[in-house]
């Protein structure tokens, strides 16, 4: 298979972007060995999962132009599907499979319903409807305690192969203990790679081209004979199913799920939306970069500031400015700066300069 | 049997009747020009036929079937082609991609999620063919938004050609074009007409063009069909003279 076949003919179209993407891919591929430690592995897993999640939102927002705030709901459905299956059924691959299939079915039905409703509502009211729906789902998740564990969420066990107690190899490899965490990570990494390439194929398929046509000029796309309801709904369903799979992966790596872990508005706005917008909507590579940047910032901005604050000890103002408690201030500042200087996102900006026009 | 028929076709906007009970049949293989002063309801009549606007009353029959309740996408799929008066393109897509989308729509391959659009070479070749017909091959890789007004009009026509419809609806296809660009479009309309089996509806202000191309002229004034017949006979009617002169005065006033 050629590179064009793997990337579906969608080259990065910028030298800097190509380097960033290859570096990101290699770093994730070698993460357990390059960045040993439980925290680093958790961050790498989270990056993978949010690459799938942000890319799936890009299909909905960037490629189709549907402004939905219910995307974290589908993420949550995937996570709850696994969590509920693994707490109620005997722990095993059967439960994992059942959890993901059930969650996909629920998401497909909901996304189809949202798609049909979207035709009846103007864009603004549609967005508000998705907000209300997401809010409703969150309330359900916290109120149905018997099923979801309420605010506390659900903690569950996994098949032994995926647990730290499992030993893939007797001795360490390159100084890293080959336990079930490593197995889990590489399963997540593999799934992320395949799902991302699948989404890249979908947005570059004849179907994906119609989505872009609808985003550009819905009136004209319809006049050409394309059914708007069919394409918009299908795009919404695909995005929802991908988000559900990402949610299922999240529950498996955390061995826990609760409302704030997967379904909250912080996930929707601070993660999904920002990753997609900052990375560059309608590019798929953008949300991938966005996911990497934002997850890294969420985990390392605070400790980084603690180091800076210590360095400036004794100086006026600076230590307090870099106090780790101010990390949200800096994160907010970072967003404003990026959105201001890169209105089309990082990828949009990088592609403006035709480094290797092809 | 007529390929297209409107029966008592009417649309009201509040108290204003934009198209008023227009009954008219169009035979296959003919070119009908629709004339009338600005605001007479010509474009609105087109919108009712191609489905962009739902009718308040009356019906549209296409190939003998009532299509009044169908949306514009389904009417297009049945063979009604429409080129818009106000240029209506995909501005941030390339010229080639604009046409390729129309070719893809015509190919009706269903929803194809897993193949690469860039590998459907047959569709791309066809798109290039239609670009060639409107003399836009050189601009294939340009974004539609970057085209000159005249080129955008040509692209608009190319999209309709690529749909390979049974009925071509041209809404002032040469409006705003420079003098040397007009023949490209007129020759094209003539070509479609010469092929013989296609039906053409043409809204056009330029009476010399209308007289040269049309088999028949219908006249709309205030949304009402006021004249219908052979070009020579219709042009001689006082109501047409008035409308036509009205346009001449307006154009002189604008110029």
Distance (Å) from the C-alpha of residue B162 to the closest C-alpha of chain A? 10
Dihedral angle computed from the Cα positions of residues B37, B38, B44 and B46, in that order, rounded to the nearest 10 degrees: 60
Least confident of A84-93, A137-146, A265-274, B244-253: B244-253
What pLDDT, on the 0 to 100 scale, is given for residue A357?
40
**Which residues in chain A touch residue B120, judged by CB atoms under 8 angstroms apart?**
206
Residue B246 has pLDDT above 80, yes or no: no
How confident is the model over A177-186, as a mean pLDDT? Answer: 91
Query: Is residue A214 less than 8 Å (CB to CB) from chain B?
Result: no
Contacts by B67-76, CB closer than 8 A, 24 or more apart: B71/A222, B72/A222, B72/A223, B73/A222, B73/A223, B73/A224, B73/A225, B73/A226, B73/A227, B73/A228, B74/A225, B74/A227, B75/B50, B75/B51, B76/A223, B76/A224, B76/A225, B76/B50, B76/B51, B76/B105, B76/B163, B76/B165
Most confident of A94-108, A319-333, B225-239: A94-108
Mean residue pLDDT across chain A: 91
Mean residue pLDDT across chain B: 91
What's the first-to-final CA gap in chain B, in angstroms? 44
A217: nearest CA partner in chain B: B90
In tens, the pLDDT along B147-199 reads 999 999 999 999 999 999 999 999 999 888 888 888 888 999 999 999 888 99
Which CATH fold topology does B1-79+168-255 show? Rossmann fold (3.40.50)
Q: What is the DSSP letter of A282?
A: T
What pLDDT, on the 0 to 100 scale, is given for residue A140?
94
Are residues B89 and A220, on separate chains, in Cβ contact within 8 Å?
yes
Tokens read off for B45: 């009549």
| Nearest one of A320, A245, A230 to A79, comparing CA atoms | A245
In tens, the pLDDT along B106-160 reads 998 888 999 999 999 999 999 999 999 999 999 999 999 999 999 999 999 999 9
Domain ranges of chain A: 3-298
Residue B251 has pLDDT above 60, yes or no: no
Q: pLDDT class for A356, splitting at 50, 70, 90?
A: very low
Distance (Å) from the C-alpha of residue A124 to the closest C-alpha of chain B? 22
What pLDDT, on the 0 to 100 scale, is given for residue A200?
97
Residue A95 has pLDDT above 70, yes or no: yes
What pLDDT, on the 0 to 100 scale, is given for residue A210?
96
Question: Which of B71, B113, B166 to substitute to test the interface with A, most A CBs within 10 Å?
Answer: B113
Q: pLDDT class for A353, splitting at 50, 70, 90?
A: low
Question: Which of A216, A220, A224, A351 to substitute to test the interface with B, most B CBs within 10 Å?
Answer: A224
Q: Identify which of A8, A216, A225 has the shortest CB distance to residue B105.
A: A225
Query: Is residue A216 less than 8 Å (CB to CB) from chain B?
Result: yes
Distance (Å) from the C-alpha of residue B67 to the closest C-alpha of chain A? 14
Q: Identify which of B101, B118, B119 has the shortest CB distance to residue A224.
A: B101
In tens, the pLDDT along A100-145 reads 999 999 999 999 999 988 877 888 899 999 999 999 999 999 999 9
Q: pLDDT class for A273, splitting at 50, 70, 90?
A: very high
What pLDDT, on the 0 to 100 scale, is given for residue B245?
56
What pLDDT, on the 0 to 100 scale, is given for residue B248?
52
In tens, the pLDDT along B90-100 reads 999 999 999 99
Percent of chain B having pLDDT more than 90?
Answer: 73
Outline which parts of chain B fall under CATH 3.40.50.300: 1-79+168-255
DSSP reduced 3-state for A341: helix
DSSP reduced 3-state for B141: coil
**Which residues in chain A touch residue B50, judged by CB atoms under 8 angstroms apart?**
223
Q: Which helix (H) or strand (E) holds A231?
A: helix A228-254
Which CATH fold topology does A3-298 show? ABC transporter involved in vitamin B12 uptake, BtuC (1.10.3470)
What's the first-to-final CA gap in chain A, in angstroms? 20
Tell me the C-alpha distance between A297 and A275, whole Å.
11
Tell me, what's the ipTM? 0.91
Tell me the C-alpha distance between A246 and A240, whole Å.
10
In sign, the C-alpha dihedral spanning B233, B239, B243, B246 is positive
Instruction: Report DSSP letters for A32-59, one per residue.
Output: HHHS-SHHHHHHHHHHHHHHHHHHHHHI
Portion 164-203 of A in contact with B at CB < 8 A: 201-202
Percent of chain A having pLDDT more than 90?
Answer: 66
Q: pLDDT class for B254, splitting at 50, 70, 90?
A: very low
Are residues B163 and A228, on separate chains, in Cβ contact within 8 Å?
no
Query: Is residue A222 less than 8 Å (CB to CB) from chain B?
Result: yes
What pLDDT, on the 0 to 100 scale, is given for residue B252?
46
Least confident of A59-68, B67-76, B202-211: B202-211
Q: Identify which of B74, B113, B159 has the shortest CB distance to residue A202.
A: B113
Please tell me the total number of residues recorded for chain A in this structure: 358
What pLDDT, on the 0 to 100 scale, is given for residue B179?
87
């Amino acid at each position: 298979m050629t590179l064009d076949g793997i990337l579906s003919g969608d080259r990065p179209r910028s030298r800097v972007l190509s380097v960033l993407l290859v570096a990101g891919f290699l770093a994730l591929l070698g993460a357990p060995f390059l960045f040993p430690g439980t925290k680093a592995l958790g961050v790498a897993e989270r990056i993978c999962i949010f690459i799938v999640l942000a890319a799936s939102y890009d299909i909905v927002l960037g490629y189709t132009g549907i402004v939905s705030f219910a995307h974290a709901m589908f993420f949550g459905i995937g996570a709850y599907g696994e969590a509920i299956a693994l707490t109620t059924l005997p722990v095993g691959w059967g439960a994992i499979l059942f959890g993901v299939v059930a969650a996909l079915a629920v998401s497909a039905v909901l996304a189809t319903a949202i798609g049909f409703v979207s035709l009846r509502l103007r864009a603004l009211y549609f967005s508000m409807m998705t907000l209300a729906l997401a809010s409703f789902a969150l309330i359900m998740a916290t109120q149905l305690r018997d099923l979801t564990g309420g605010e506390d969420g659900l903690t569950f066990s996994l098949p032994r192969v995926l647990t730290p107690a499992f030993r893939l190899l007797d001795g360490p490899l390159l100084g890293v203990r080959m336990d079930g965490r490593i197995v889990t990570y590489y399963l997540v990494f593999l799934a992320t790679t395949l799902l991302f390439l699948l989404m890249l194929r979908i947005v570059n398929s004849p179907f994906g081209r119609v989505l872009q046509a609808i985003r550009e000029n819905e009136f004209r796309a319809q006049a050409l004979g394309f059914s708007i309801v069919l394409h918009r709904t299908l795009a919404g369903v695909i995005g929802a199913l991908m988000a559900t799979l990402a949610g299922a992966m999240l529950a498996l790596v955390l061995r826990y799920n609760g409302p704030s872990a997967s379904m909250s508005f912080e996930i929707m706005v601070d993660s999904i939306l920002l990753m997609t917008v900052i990375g560059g909507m309608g590019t798929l590579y953008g949300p991938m970069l966005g996911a990497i940047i934002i997850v890294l910032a969420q985990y390392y901005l605070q400790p980084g500031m603690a180091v800076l604050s210590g360095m400036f000890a004794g100086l006026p103002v600076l230590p307090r400015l870099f106090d780790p408690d101010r990390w949200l201030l800096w994160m907010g500042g970072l967003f404003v700066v990026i959105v201001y200087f890169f209105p089309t996102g990082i990828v949009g900006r990088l592609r403006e300069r035709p480094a290797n026009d092809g | 049997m007529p390929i297209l028929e409107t029966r008592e076709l009417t649309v009201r906007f509040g108290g204003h009747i934009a198209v008023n009970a227009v009954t008219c049949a169009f035979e296959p293989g003919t070119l009908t020009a629709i004339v009338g002063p600005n605001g007479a309801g010509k474009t609105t009549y087109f919108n009712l036929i191609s489905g962009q606007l739902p009718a308040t009353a009356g019906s549209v029959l296409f190939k003998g079937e009532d299509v009044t309740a169908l949306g514009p996408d389904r009417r297009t799929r049945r063979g009604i082609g429409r080129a818009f008066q106000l240029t209506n393109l995909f501005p941030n897509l390339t010229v080639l991609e604009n046409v390729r989308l129309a070719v893809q729509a015509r190919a009706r391959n269903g929803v194809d999620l897993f193949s690469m659009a860039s590998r459907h070479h047959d569709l791309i070749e066809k798109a290039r063919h239609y670009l060639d017909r409107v003399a836009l091959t050189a601009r294939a890789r340009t974004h539609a938004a970057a085209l000159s007004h005249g080129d955008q009009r040509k692209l608009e026509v190319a999209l309709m050609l690529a749909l390979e419809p049974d009925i071509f609806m041209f809404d002032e296809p040469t409006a705003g074009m420079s003098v040397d660009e007009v023949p490209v479009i007129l020759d094209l309309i003539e070509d479609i007409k010469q092929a013989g089996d296609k039906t053409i509806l043409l809204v056009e202000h330029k009476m010399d063009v209308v007289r040269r191309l049309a088999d028949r002229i219908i006249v709309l004034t205030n949304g009402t069909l006021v004249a219908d017949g052979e070009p020579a006979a219709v042009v001689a009617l006082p109501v047409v003279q008035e409308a036509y002169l009205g346009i001449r005065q307006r154009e002189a006033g604008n110029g």
